[in-house]
Structure formats: structure tokens, C-alpha cells
Amino acid sequence: MTTPARPSSSKPRGKFRPAPPQPDPTRDVAFDILCGVVEHRRMLENSLSRSAAAHQAEARDRAAAHRLAAATLRHMGTLRTVLEPFLKKEPPEPVRVALMMGCAQLLFLETPPHAAVGTTVSLLRRRKLAPFAGLANAVLRRVAGNGPSVLEGLDQPRLDIPSWLWTSWAGLGKGVPRAIAQGISHEAPLDITLRPGAQAPEGGIALPNGSIRLPAGTRVTELIGYEEGAFWVQDAAATLPARLLNVQASERVADLCAAPGGKTAQLAITGAEVTAVENNPARLLRLKENMARLGLDVRCLQADASTWQPDAPLDAILLDAPCSATGTARRHPDVLWVKRPRDLTTLTAMQDKLLAAARDMLRPGGRLVYAVCSLQDEEGPARARAAQAMGLVPMPFTAEELSFLPEALTPEGWLRTHPGMWLDKGGMDGFFAARFTRAL
Ligand SMILES: C[S@@+](CC[C@H](N)C(=O)[O-])C[C@H]1O[C@@H](n2cnc3c(N)ncnc32)[C@H](O)[C@@H]1O
């Protein structure tokens, strides 16, 4: 982050004019991202692409902004609560955003107090919110003066998860919402999947599923072997659905909803004939780039998977359906504050449409794995039951298949992971998966 400006002091008198605020691309971009999430319920990536500051910023500043915004989002409930006693009346939302960002730097990012306070004051002045600069100065100085004691007695995991999500996760088991909140409370490590025979980059730790875990903040493109296609980025939990499809080299396989292609790569590396279907042109491009970097021969198609039809019935299908993505909140904490219960209605309707389409693409005896990176019952178990009602026959996962993660096997033979699993190793994303076959 750039050098702090001096905190604004008392009111200007006479001919004195305050110095122009210092440029600070990191905080400008972080502020834009956070306002997008908080005021407009816009996903972080979407806000980033709309931010004029982000377009002008260097990659290093954008990355720092991303980290600052993510830390603020991860602790947003706590930050709101901490600020409350210091505010006599409700400030406009952008001012509160700037205060939360300043407060996150003080309490969670070890930014020196003079920098956290000074840069917040400067930010407000740059953003035509100068009348609130004095308030920010006073409030943040008081928070800094109190130090970590402002967090004492706060139930941070509970505060940092919106109530509707906390309640919805109660069905996952006693203590699970709290464990999930713990998993989300810190930056996620970087997981990669190695090509068979490739060497793990230095500093990586092998996880029980075979993924290699590197410290949070590792820049993947700078790792030896990236350009050569020795590995791809994929959370440990995200490797499981494709693995559980048990694809053989001789099979004809479709990956429906494929970009950016982590699971496509897993399927293609078996030697199977893989068609990857993706409806978003920009994401299709990323998928193609990834397959080219990995040197994998995959037919990549732009099509709507709910209407696309293969030339002949398929042996195996992976349907990694679009979903609320609440299971990825470790990496995308904006999900927590952007998604609403009503989003699930549209998503589950699309998931059913895709399931019915996938069923019709399968040959009798063929296999289908349905997966979502969601923690919501509506998108997981409820869809597995809907698939059964559509005539798909359950093919439960077995204890042997999940011997390295027995806690993820449900009594129904489904897969359920969540960010509270492997907490001692750095957690994992939340996935649901179920396997079916088409009756002979
Ligand atoms: C959960 S992501 C897939 C992640 C991917 N399977 C992987 O492992 O890298 C869902 C993807 O489905 C795409 N998508 C959404 N609706 C679709 C549809 N009707 N047909 C094809 N692709 C779709 C989205 O653009 C998005 O890229």
C-alpha cells in the first residue's frame, strides 16, 4: 500500500487551505469495490471492472486493493458493530464504507494507525466527502487508541455471517455454521492440481486428496511450471466431483458449464474424449486459454448446456451447475453480502433444467455427477431429490472413494464439503455433489 497522507487536523482558518489529497490507487480501488458490494450488491469482480480507478491502477495496486476489500468484507459484521458506539448518527453509506475499510486496516491488517487514519481522511477528501473527514479522523483515532480491546466480547464468527446464511447452515450439523465462519475468516491458501508426474512447486504441501497447497497470497503465474502447464489452480474440494465421475480413457464425456476449466482438465487428462460446454464467451476464452496452456485436447463449445445436444449419447457427464457459490466465500467474501434468499429461486429452476437436459444426453448405464459450490440445501440435497424424481437413478459415493475425507460422505451417499473442514490445514471450499446413472 502507498505511503500514508497526514491526518487532517482541525478546521482550516483564514487563508489556510488543506494540501490536496495524496493519490492512493489501492484505497481508491478498494473503496469502489466495497461501495459496489455494499450499496449496489454487485459482485467484487463486477465492481472492479466498473471502477475507473481500477482501470488506471497498476496490477500490484489492484491486487492490494482486492486484498483490502476482501479483508473488510470478511469482517464486515464485526466492523459495523465496532464502529457503532463511536457514531452519534448514521453516516451516509459511502462514509461508513470508508470507516470500515480504515477500521479493517487498524484491527486486522496491522496497518500503522497514522496510515490507516490519514489515508481514510484523504480518501474522503478525494471522493468529495470532505465534510466527513473530521468525523473519520476522530472515530478512527479513537478505535486505534482502544486497540484490539474493541473486539473483546464480540462473537465475531456470528457477526460476520448474515443471519439468513447462518440459519440456513444449521441443517449441516451442530457447530457447523461456526466452523464455516472460522474457515471464511482468513484468506484462503492457493491450491493447485498437478499433472500426473509433474513436480510440486517449492513450498507446497501435499493434501490427503493429492492437491498441493501453497500459502495465501502466492502468485500462481510466478510459480515454476505454470507456463509449461505443469498444474492448474483448483481448490482441494473442487477436485472431488470430477474425480468421483471415474472417467475412463475410452469414454465420451461432456463437461457442462465448464469455464474456467479446472474440472475439464481433470476429465481430459484421463485420455477421454471431452466436450466442454460454456455459454459465456469471455469465460469460454479463458477455458480455451487454460486448455492450451495445459496442452489438453478438448472440444470447447459456446452453447447453452440446457439445450445443447451431443451427436450421440454420452458415457459420462459432469454438470457443475451455476449456483449461489456460497461455498466459495473463503475466496469470494463478497458472496456473503451480495446473495439473497430470493436468488435461489432462479438458480434452482436453472439447475433443474440443466439436470433434465443432462439426463437426456446420457446413454443407458451412463453416469452423471451433479455438483454445486453452494452450501445451500435448495441447490444441493433438494436438487439431488429432484434429479431422482426426474428418473435418474442414484449411484451413491462409497467410503472407499472418500477414504481421505470420510466426513464429507453423507448417509445418502452424497458429497458435502464446507469451509470448516480441514481447518487445521487451511480449510476447503464448500461443495455438494451427487452421482446418478440412467436406467438400462
Ligand atoms: C460453477 S462455474 C463452473 C466451474 C468449472 N466447472 C470449473 O471447474 O472450472 C459455472 C459455469 O457455468 C456457466 N454457465 C452458466 N449457465 C450456463 C448454461 N446454461 N450453459 C452453459 N454454461 C453455463 C457459467 O458461465 C460458469 O462459467
Domains of the chain: 25-151 (1.10.940.10), 236-437 (3.40.50.150)
Name the residue among 93, 28, 35 with its Cα closest to residue 64: 28
The residues with which 302 forms a beta bridge, in sequence order, are 278
C-alpha 181 – ligand 1 centre gap (Å) = 26
In the prediction, which pLDDT does 321 show? 98
In the prediction, which pLDDT does 159 show? 98
Contact at 8 Å (CB) between 166 and 177? yes
Q: What is the DSSP string of 332-369?
A: -THHHHH--TTHHHHHHHHHHHHHHHHHHHEEEEEEEE
In the prediction, which pLDDT does 267 show? 98
Q: Which three cell numbers stand for residue 332?
A: 469470494
Please report the ipTM that was assigned to this predicted complex: 0.99
Name the residue among 348, 369, 352 with its Cα closest to residue 254: 369
How far apart, in whole angstroms, are the C-alpha atoms of residue 257 and residue 240? 16
C-alpha 257 – ligand 1 centre gap (Å) = 3
Q: Which atom of ligand 1 is nearest to the CA of 305?
A: 20
C-alpha 355 – ligand 1 centre gap (Å) = 13
Closest Cα to atom 25, ligand 1: which residue? 280
Query: b/e per residue, 186-212, with b = 16+ CB within 10 A?
Result: ebbbbbbbbbeeeebbeebeebebebb
Ligand 1 pocket mutation, candidates 278, 317, 369, criterion most atoms within 8 A of CB? 278
In the prediction, which pLDDT does 17 show? 59
C-alpha 318 – ligand 1 centre gap (Å) = 11
Q: Is 241 in the pocket of ligand 1 (CB under 6 A)?
A: no
Q: Is 267 in the pocket of ligand 1 (CB under 6 A)?
A: no
Question: Residues comprising the binding site for S-adenosyl-L-methionine?
Answer: 257-263, 278, 304, 320
Contact at 8 Å (CB) between 350 and 402? no
Ligand 1 pocket mutation, candidates 279, 302, 374, criterion most atoms within 8 A of CB? 279
Residues 363-411: tens digit of each pLDDT? 999 999 999 999 999 999 999 999 999 999 999 999 999 999 999 999 9
Task: Report angle CA 267, 247, 290 to the nearest 5 degrees.
Answer: 0
In the prediction, which pLDDT does 253 show? 98
Q: Which atom of ligand 1 is nearest to the CA of 259?
A: 27
C-alpha 152 – ligand 1 centre gap (Å) = 42
Q: Is 248 in the pocket of ligand 1 (CB under 6 A)?
A: no
Residue 164 has a CB neighbour count (10 Å cut-off) of 11
Q: Is 239 in the pocket of ligand 1 (CB under 6 A)?
A: no
Residues of the chain under the 70 pLDDT cut: 1-20
In the prediction, which pLDDT does 49 show? 85
Residues 157-215: tens digit of each pLDDT? 999 999 999 999 999 999 999 999 999 999 999 999 999 999 999 999 999 999 999 99
Name the residue among 221, 292, 258 with its Cα closest to residue 63: 221
Closest Cα to atom 15, ligand 1: which residue? 322
Q: Which three cell numbers stand for residue 113?
A: 494507525
How far apart, in whole angstroms, are the C-alpha atoms of residue 261 and residue 286? 8
Contact at 8 Å (CB) between 425 and 391? no
Contact at 8 Å (CB) between 373 and 347? no
Name the residue among 341, 344, 340, 417 with its Cα closest to residue 379: 344
Contact at 8 Å (CB) between 314 and 366? yes
Q: Is 279 in the pocket of ligand 1 (CB under 6 A)?
A: yes
Q: Which atom of ligand 1 is nearest to the CA of 354?
A: 19
Catalytic status, residue 373: yes
C-alpha 374 – ligand 1 centre gap (Å) = 14
Name the residue among 298, 252, 261, 254 with its Cα closest to residue 280: 261
Closest Cα to atom 12, ligand 1: which residue? 257
Q: Which atom of ligand 1 is nearest to the CA of 277?
A: 21
